[in-house]
Structure formats: C-alpha cells, structure tokens
Chain A
Amino acid sequence: MNFENKKATREAYGEVLKELGKENEKVVVLDADLSNATKTGGFAKEFPDRFFNMGIAEQDMVSTAAGLSTCGKIPFASSFAVFLTGRAYDQVRNSVAYPNLNVKLCGTHAGVTVGEDGATHQMLEDISITRTLPNLKVFCPADEIETRWLIKEIAKIEGPCYVRLGRSKVPQIYDENESFEIGKFKVFGEGTDATIFASGVTVSEALIAKDELEKEGINVRVVDVCSIKPLDEETILKCAKETKKLISVEDHMVTGGIGSAIAEVLTDKYPTKLTRIGINDTFGKSGKAGELVKYYGLDSTNIIKTVKE
C-alpha cells in the first residue's frame, strides 16, 4: 500500500474519463452542476460537444442518458451518490435498469467520508437500493488503480452499471499492472484467523488492520469487495470455510450493503456467523472524513478490536 500516493477515486474517475473520451467516440458524459466535484469537468473541457451539463436536475439527467444510450451512445452520468441513486431512483429503475440500457451511473461522495456536508449528502443506502435492481451491475473500487480499470471495463460491457466513488483521498493499494475481473474479488493474504471483507474507502483500513494484527501473530486475509453485483460467491464461501471468523466493514448502512450481500450468500450456501461493521440505522453527521471513520468504527482500530473479540 502506497501512502505517499493518495488519491480519491472520484479523481481517478475524472482522469480515466478523459482517456476514454479519446479512445471511444461513443462515450458521452452528463453531470448535474457538480462537474468540479465529480471531476467530470476535465472531460467537459476536452470534449465540450460530448459533455452535457443538465443543471440541478438529476432525474432529467438519468432519463436523458437512457435516451442517448438507445441511440448507441455510452453515457456516463454523474452526481453525488445521494442524488444520483436517491433522488433519481425511479429514473434509474424505470428508465435504465428495466429496459437494460447501456448507461453508466457514477456516484461520487458516497458514505460518511463526504465529511463536513453532513447527513443530507452522505449516501449510506446506495448499495442497498441499487443491488436489488435487476440488470444493474454494482461496483465500488478501492483505489486509483482499480477505479481506472473499472471505468474502462464497464465502457466495454453492454448494460447498466452503478459505480460508487468516494470524496476522500485513499492510498494506492494496487500496482499499476494489477489485473482485475468483474465478479472476482481481490484477496490479500491467506491468513486463517479471520477474513475482513471491505469495500471502497474501508479496504485500506482493513489492510492497515491486517498488518497490525500480523505483528501480534494474528493472521487475517482482506477481501476487496469491488464487484458487489455480480458478487464473487466462490471467494466468499472459500473464506467462510478456511477462516475462523468473518467480518465485513463498509462506509454504508449495515442493512443492505456488502455485509448483507455476503450474509445472503452465507445463509443460502454455508451458514456462518458474520460480524458486520458499518453505519447502524442512523444518519451521518458533519465532521472531517477521518474523524467520522473513527466515530462510526470503520477504522483499523475498531477492525482490530472486532477481530480479537
């Protein structure tokens, strides 16, 4: 893990969009007056004819993206996760997921790590409400490298996708040449004392915990749950069989998030206890991202404590 090289996944998104714009004429980008924050502004500068600022109108943006996709375009529509999947939920459901259209929804500023903006802007239910929609694939990359791969990959596959991106900077976890696959989790280590399933901003916290625990002779493995739908059932079951304890940690409500998704697989195929760390039936609050990560127990210290319990 490279703590020197920290970058928010939204920044990586903005950069890779510009590359995609060069590579593929069909790529168009829509935003709802947040292009500075979602980082689609770079694409807008380089490809003004293929960038559509829809104003503060997320519902219109999502359905417009749907219309563009029916004519062969590959629209990437961005806003804060809370507005993209929350305010425009019905549009995501009926204009995009139901007709299985090739729209890429990229929501930034997910989770409490939004920080100071507080509860109204901290989306904690997006995984829950998107992964229950048929046809829609759901992803949450952990660092710059994974984001770059993911955005390019979803441009190649036909069908609707939701990508959950973060506001705060996260360390670089992967090497430049790492290879990824949709529906396959990346696993760090082979420890058998516990498995820590993490996603997005919590992957680096889980990796810090892993290193600390190793110093005390506790060997855990960390699983990066980027591909939330499709889920990597094989890896979940392998970890359940090989490790003594299962923990999930996410910057998301514990109901409906990655913990729930994993628990669904376990209850169907290999009933095992899973301890879920996340936000517990409460809205977020203002504060610095780092402070909130600790406040809600998403940090390495609480992960270590949970492993030891």
Chain B
Amino acid sequence: MKITDETIKDLEKKANSIRKSIVEEVYSAQSGHPGGALSIADILTTLYFCQMNINPQNPTDENRDRLVLSKGHACAALYATLAERGYFDKSLLKDFRKIDGILQGHPDMKHIPGVDMSTGSLGQGLSAANGMAIASKLDSKGYRVYCILGDGEIEEGQVWEACMTSSKYKLDNLCVIVDNNSLQIDGTIEDVAGLNNIEEKFRSFGFETFNVDGNNIDELITIFEKAKTVKEKPTAIIAKTVKGKGVSFMENQVGWHGKAPNEEEYKTAMADLEA
C-alpha cells in the first residue's frame, strides 16, 4: 500500500480509537494491564492495518502472517486492535476478563478469533513464533511472523534460548519487536534486573537490529519495511515506547502496570484521548 500523510493520519486515528478501547476494557473489567497495552497500541495498529498479510474474514488462513503477543498481559491492546480490524464485534470488548465473555485475561487462541498463540506465562512466545517461522519455511509459504516481547519479559531465560533458535535457523521471516517502555511491575528494568543494552544483546545473538520510536507510526512503517529486506537472519526492532502512552496520568508511571482506573480517572483518560 502507498503510504501518504493521509494514511499516517488515518492510522493514528485508529491507534487512538484502540487506546480508547483499551481504557474502556480495563475500566469495564476493573482489572487488566493498561500501561503496557497503551505502549504497544501504535505497533499493533501499524502491523494489523498496514503490514501484516491477514484476512479478518478468514482468521485461520494457513498463508496468513502471524503475530504472537508474548507479553500476553497487554492483550487489551490486541483485543482492541482485532476488534478495530473486524475480527469480532467491538461490543465484545465490554466483557473483557468477565466470566461470560470470550476475552480471557490473557490471550486464548482457542476462543478468540485472530489470536495466533495463547500466551500469558512470560518468555514463551518467541519460541512459539520460531516454530511458526520454521513451519513457514518448511512449507515454502513465505508468511512472516511477528513477536512482541516486553522489555521486562526478556529477563526470562527462555527468551535467549529462543534467540539462539531464531538465529540458528536463519529465520529472516521472523520479526521481534521489543516494547521498550523501561518499566516493569516493581520498578525500572535497570533497577529491578540490571537490564540494559537490549539492542547489543539481540545483535550478539545474531539478530539484525533496529531502533525506533515505537509510538511513531510513520517511523514504525519505515522500520518494518526495512526489516522485510533482511535476509538470512532474524530481525529485532527495539521500540522505545512510553508506558501508558496517551493517558496523561498513566504515562511513565510504574503504578499503572496492572491497575484499573476509577470513574474519575476513566473520565480523565477518555478526555485525554479525545484531545
């Protein structure tokens, strides 16, 4: 698709609409993870509305591109995106995390159209994404696999086991996106786990790496297009993001990792997103 200023504006509107849905979901459930969901809204918008080869009318098409949301707790963003893209009706979002709804607290591939992998226990998604990318190559199908990791999540050792696999099998149809919002539940990734130099880590594991402002759709499109041209090695995009992006009082606040807004906060959040 041809990318014009108009396209970018349109995508930004979609991302904003997805952000509103995220706040609605978490407010309605009075539980969930708004911070890390809001930080990836632009990434998901870019992927589902202008990068991935998908068809919401045929969510299990075997030739489709896949996305594994390894940081499964941010699923409010994935559900909002899938609804916005037409995988299911937006009205389902109000039953997020509720006993009668299909939208589980973490992604459930068996019951939610468009969810390519069940996740929730951190660190497992990249391995699953590798499996999909390997299958794509075995069958010469050519589909691409995207995997969104949290920066805190990469403290899990399995992520680095998986990185060796991505590299060993030269999975150039795999694109990892690290949601680098720099915060995890107990504080900054530096304070909690001494985590730094994320890009160097991926590069040393054999990835072609890119840096991007993960809340800038224009830049994201450019980087995703570049990543597609890499051959013989997997790609990792370190996306610098703002946790809680778009909601003034949630931005860069550790406390909004896994907390729902009250009525007043909800109103402020929605007003922020209207502005």
Contact = CB atoms under 8 A, between A and B. Distances in A.
B129 A67 contact: yes
B203 interface: no
A67 B138 contact: no
B127 A63 contact: yes
Contact of A99 (B62, B66, B118): B118
B132 interface: yes
A48 to B, nearest CB: 12
B162 A64 contact: yes
A52 B138 CA distance: 12
Interface in A266-289: none
A28 interface: yes
A70 B131 contact: yes
A119 interface: no
Contacts of A91: 121, 124, 127, 158
Interface string B108-136: 11100000111111011101111111111
B161 A98 contact: no
Contact of A67 (B108, B127, B161): B127
| Most-contacted residue by chain A among B110, B131, B169 (CB, 10 A) | B131
B: interface residue count bin: 35 or more
Contact of B124 (A68, A72, A95): A95
Interface string A55-95: 10101111111111111110100000000000000110111
B13 to A, nearest CB: 32
B71 to A, nearest CB: 14
B134 A52 contact: yes
B104 to A, nearest CB: 10
A65 B165 CA distance: 12
A2 B225 CA distance: 64
A60 B118 contact: no
A49 interface: yes
A71 B62 contact: yes
B135 A68 contact: yes
Given A67-B129, A70-B128, A94-B120, A60 B138 contact: no
A55 B161 CA distance: 9
A63 B136 contact: no
Contact of A98 (B118, B127, B162): B118
A54 interface: yes
A72 B134 contact: no
A65 B131 contact: yes
A266 B161 CA distance: 44
Select the residue from A49, A52, A69 with max chain B CB neighbours within 10 A: A52
Contacts of B168: 55
B5 interface: no
A66 B121 contact: no
Q: Which of A52, A64, A70, A94 has the most CB of B within 10 A?
A: A64
Contact of B158 (A60, A66, A71, A100): A60
A162 to B, nearest CB: 18
A71 to B, nearest CB: 3
Q: How many A residues touch the partner, as a band?
A: 20 to 34
Given A57-B161, A94-B118, A63 B128 contact: yes
Contacts of B68: 67
A258 B108 CA distance: 31
Contact of B109 (A71, A73, A99): A99
Nearest to A57: B161
B6 interface: no
A71 B136 contact: yes
A7 interface: no
Interface in B70-100: none
B117 A70 contact: yes
B139 interface: yes
Given A57-B164, A60-B162, A94 B121 contact: yes
Given A55-B164, A99-B110, A100-B110, A66 B128 contact: yes
Given A55-B161, A60-B158, A73 B128 contact: no
A64 B117 contact: no
A90 B121 CA distance: 8
Nearest to B60: A70
A98 B111 CA distance: 12
A263 B234 CA distance: 51
A72 B127 contact: no
Nearest to A66: B128
A34 B161 CA distance: 16
Given A99-B109, A100-B110, A67 B62 contact: no
26 contacts: A55-B161, A55-B164, A55-B168, A59-B123, A59-B158, A59-B161, A60-B130, A61-B127, A63-B124, A63-B127, A64-B127, A64-B130, A64-B134, A66-B124, A66-B131, A67-B117, A67-B132, A68-B132, A68-B135, A70-B128, A70-B135, A71-B62, A71-B131, A72-B139, A91-B124, A95-B128
Interface of B: 62, 66, 68, 108-110, 116-121, 123-125, 127-136, 138-139, 157-158, 161-162, 164-165, 168-169
